């Protein structure tokens, strides 16, 4: 049975509470709707302290982090590798490849580590290239291989853990001439001639191979045992025996062991296409991170590989999405922001509603499909709505947001005011965070014409805490702006209780453009924006219009 294809449910980079909690909630919803557990919540960035508080509060783990959704070798349908030992005979290797209709054997050690490759071409080359009588000895061919290849029986001697020594000769001459050609340790192929058998043993041959199934006298067998000479008998004639002997050589002697072309499971398929096009091998070994053989990749499996499937929640702009989205297949989008520039290859389910939080949309989908919301999931979704609407203070908040949050709070057994205060306190606590952590805790990139800019936001119920980081955040933003590649950086210090924002502006003309268009007062490099708490509905539209005017 084939493995169910995983579908990632994932929010934007630098995820906020809505992005993380909605991914978890929607993955649960889809699994309940489909009856299969193939939807997986993921995240494209670090979990901030507010979100971590929420996860801990309801006993939920953070989704697994993914830095990109590019296709990797492990995502392809790898073919099972034909694993063999380096001691396998050439003949047996040929029989295995023929029976399996394969072209390549992978030679592995006891730990499944790749030692080499043996192809049909290598087998043909081994048969054509082997010459001279010492090939079996040079290859340290085991007697067990020889017995197996010749389908021989052992009449005398012990072959356990022994390998061929000396050269191979055919005893076609009379005994007098044989004495001149046989040396100690040689392997001699012969028939049933008693004198020749006796001569070979006396000359300290290591092995006699008796062809055509000839009988061997008891006296010869006894002498062979005394002289530690192995006697094998095969039904093949002398010609066939001599021809087959070289096929008993272990494939480790011929296998390709240097400059092997292989891939790792984590290699990206786009990166290996060029290698496969250039090398044009039929099969490529695939190893895991520890060097163990996993399987074989073919050009066919690369062509047939499915793209990773993703569902985007809480965003629909490519600049905010996980890296490698262009190589993935978008299944659905659930969002409450303005339309961005994500393209799909086919029509998809795209639900975009003007509410204050993605979790509110997911709440409505639970209701529409009459699916019960578990206590923990309700707690996450309620927290997301509280976070995105600043407990109903944001202008993005709608009546349905508040209804949803209060009903979810009842399911989760929490009181919204107290929970919001605990969340926002955990999320601010700015004295314990670096400038980098503060800026990128909730940071999104935008583009208006030729101007690219980033807008971060942090919310707190303590005005003095926000005012206390203005200088260090301004200095940090001026330092890192050139590294970001953005024309301008903005950072919203949002006071939840006063429902106002101090907007830090860094970059050429950033302060003057915003101040001129918004008409808000300026203090230093800060635009003081009364009644402004929403990045989506108040700050970003102001910036876009200022740059376009």
Residue 1's pLDDT band (boundaries 50, 70, 90)?
Answer: very low
- Helix/strand/coil (H, E, C) string of 236-298? CCHHHHHHHHHHHCEHHHCCECCCCCCEECCCEHHHHHHHHHHHCCCEEEEECCCCEEEEEEE
Residue (of 71, 81, 68) closest to 5 by Cα position:
71
Residue (of 477, 480, 509, 512) closest to 492 by Cα position:
477
Residue (of 253, 257, 250, 207) closest to 227 by Cα position:
207
CA gap 316, 10 in Å, rounded = 11
Domain spans of the chain?
Answer: 7-71+308-427, 75-128+253-304, 131-248, 430-548
DSSP state of 104: E
The pLDDT > 90 percentage for the chain reads: 65
Q: Which two tokens stand for residue 6?
A: 């995983």
pLDDT (mean) for 371-378? 98
CATH class given for the domain over 75-128+253-304:
alpha beta
Output the pLDDT for position 457: 93
CB 90 within 8 A of CB 249: yes
Q: Which two tokens stand for residue 103?
A: 């072209």
CA gap 207, 486 in Å, rounded = 80
Residues 182-185: contacts with CB under 8 Å, at least 24 apart: 185/137
CB 342 within 8 A of CB 319: no
CA gap 52, 45 in Å, rounded = 13
CA gap 336, 12 in Å, rounded = 13
Positive or negative: CA dihedral 3, 362, 387, 447: positive
CATH architecture of the region 7-71+308-427: Alpha-Beta Complex (3.90)
Residue 132's pLDDT band (boundaries 50, 70, 90)?
Answer: low
CA gap 55, 487 in Å, rounded = 35
pLDDT (mean) for 42-66? 96
What residues contact residue 210 under an 8 Å CB cut-off, 6+ apart?
Answer: 155, 190, 191, 192, 197, 216, 231, 232, 233, 234
Length of the chain: 549
CATH class given for the domain over 430-548:
alpha beta
Output the pLDDT for position 300: 78
Does the pLDDT value for residue 439 go beyond 60? Answer: yes
Dihedral, CA atoms, 190, 196, 199, 200, nearest 10 degrees?
0
DSSP state of 83: E
Least confident range of 110-119, 193-202, 299-308, 472-481: 299-308
CA gap 245, 164 in Å, rounded = 11
DSSP for 29-75, written as a single string = HHHHHHSS--EEEEESSPPPHHHHHHHHHTT-PPPEE-SB---BGGG
Output the pLDDT for position 423: 93
CA gap 52, 358 in Å, rounded = 18
Does the pLDDT value for residue 29 go beyond 90? Answer: yes
pLDDT (mean) for 39-47? 96
Which range, 120-129, 169-178, 209-218, is most confident?
209-218
Output the pLDDT for position 149: 95
Does the pLDDT value for residue 131 go beyond 70? Answer: no
Superfamily of domain 131-248: HprK N-terminal domain-like (3.40.1390.20)
Please report which helix (H) or strand (E) contains residue 114, including its range: strand 114-119
CB 441 within 8 A of CB 456: yes
pLDDT, averaged across the chain: 91
Does the pLDDT value for residue 150 go beyond 90? Answer: yes
pLDDT (mean) for 493-520? 92
Residue (of 106, 124, 126) closest to 116 by Cα position:
106
Dihedral, CA atoms, 360, 361, 363, 368, nearest 10 degrees?
150
CA gap 255, 84 in Å, rounded = 11
pLDDT in tens, 61-86: 999 999 999 988 888 878 888 899 99
pLDDT (mean) for 117-137? 81
Output the pLDDT for position 2: 45
Q: What is the CA radius of gyration of the chain?
A: 38
pLDDT (mean) for 228-237? 95
Does the pLDDT value for residue 429 go beyond 80? Answer: no
Output the pLDDT for position 371: 97
DSSP for 321-377, written as a single string = SPBTGGGSEEEEEEE-S-------SS--EEEE-SSS-HHHHHHHHHHHTTPPPPHHH
Pairing of strands 309-313, 329-335: parallel
Instruction: Give the Cβ contact number of residue 235 at 10 Å.
Output: 14
CA gap 194, 47 in Å, rounded = 87
Does the pLDDT value for residue 147 go beyond 60? Answer: yes
pLDDT (mean) for 130-154? 89
Does the pLDDT value for residue 467 go beyond 70? Answer: yes
Q: Is 182 left (phi over 0), alpha (psi -120 to 50) or beta?
A: beta
């Amino acid at each position: 049975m084939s493995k169910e294809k995983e579908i990632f449910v994932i929010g934007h980079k630098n995820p906020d509470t809505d992005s993380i909690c909605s991914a978890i909630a929607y993955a649960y919803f889809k699994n309940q709707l489909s009856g299969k557990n193939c939807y997986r919540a993921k995240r494209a960035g670090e979990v901030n302290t507010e979100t971590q508080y929420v996860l801990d509060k309801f006993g939920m783990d953070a989704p697994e982090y993914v830095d990109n959704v590019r296709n990797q070798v492990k995502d392809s349908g790898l073919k099972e590798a034909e694993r063999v030992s380096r001691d396998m005979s050439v003949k047996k290797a040929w029989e295995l490849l023929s029976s399996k209709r394969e072209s390549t054997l992978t030679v592995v050690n006891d730990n499944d580590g790749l030692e080499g490759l043996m192809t049909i071409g290598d087998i043909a080359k081994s048969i054509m290239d082997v010459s001279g009588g010492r090939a079996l000895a040079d290859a340290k061919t085991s007697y067990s291989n020889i017995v197996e290849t010749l389908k021989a029986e052992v009449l005398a001697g012990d072959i356990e853990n022994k390998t061929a020594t000396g050269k191979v000769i055919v005893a076609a001459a009379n005994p007098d001439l044989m004495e001149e050609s046989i040396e100690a340790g040689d392997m001699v192929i012969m028939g049933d001639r008693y004198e020749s058998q006796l001569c070979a043993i006396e000359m300290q041959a290591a092995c006699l191979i008796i062809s055509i199934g000839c009988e061997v006298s008891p006296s010869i067998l006894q002498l062979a045992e005394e002289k530690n000479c192995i006697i094998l008998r095969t039904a093949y004639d002398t010609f066939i025996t001599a021809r087959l002997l070289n096929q008993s050589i272990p494939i480790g002697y011929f296998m390709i062991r240097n400059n092997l072309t292989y891939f790792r499971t984590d290699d990206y398929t786009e990166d290996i296409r060029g290698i496969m096009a250039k090398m044009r091998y039929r099969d490529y070994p695939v190893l895991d991170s520890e060097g163990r053989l996993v399987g074989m990749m073919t050009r066919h499996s690369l062509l047939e590989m499915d793209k990773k499937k993703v569902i985007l929640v809480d965003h629909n702009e490519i600049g905010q999405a996980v890296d490698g989205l262009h190589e993935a297949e978008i299944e659905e989008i659930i969002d409450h922001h303005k339309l961005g520039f994500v393209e799909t290859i086919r029509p998809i389910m795209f639900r975009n509603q003007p509410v204050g939080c993605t979790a509110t949309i997911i709440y409505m989908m639970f209701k529409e499909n009459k699916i019960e919301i578990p206590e923990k999931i309700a707690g996450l979704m309620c927290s997301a709505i509280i976070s995105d609407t600043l407990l109903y203070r944001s202008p993005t908040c709608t009546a349905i947001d508040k209804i949803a949050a209060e009903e979810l709070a009842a399911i989760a057994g929490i009181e919204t005011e107290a929970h919001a205060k605990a969340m926002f306190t955990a999320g601010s606590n700015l004295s314990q965070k670096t400038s980098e952590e503060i800026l990128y805790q909730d940071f999104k990139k935008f583009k208006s014409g030729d101007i690219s800019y980033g807008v971060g936001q942090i919310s707190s119920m303590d005005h003095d805490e926000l005012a206390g980081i203005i200088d260090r955040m301004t200095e940090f933003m001026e330092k890192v702006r050139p590294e970001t590649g953005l024309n301008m950086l903005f950072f919203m210090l949002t006071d939840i209780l006063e429902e106002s924002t101090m907007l830090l502006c860094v970059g050429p003309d950033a302060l003057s453009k915003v101040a001129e268009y918004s008409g808000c007062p300026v203090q230093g490099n800060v635009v003081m924006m009364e009644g402004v708490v929403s990045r989506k509905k108040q700050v970003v539209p102001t910036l876009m219009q200022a740059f376009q005017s």
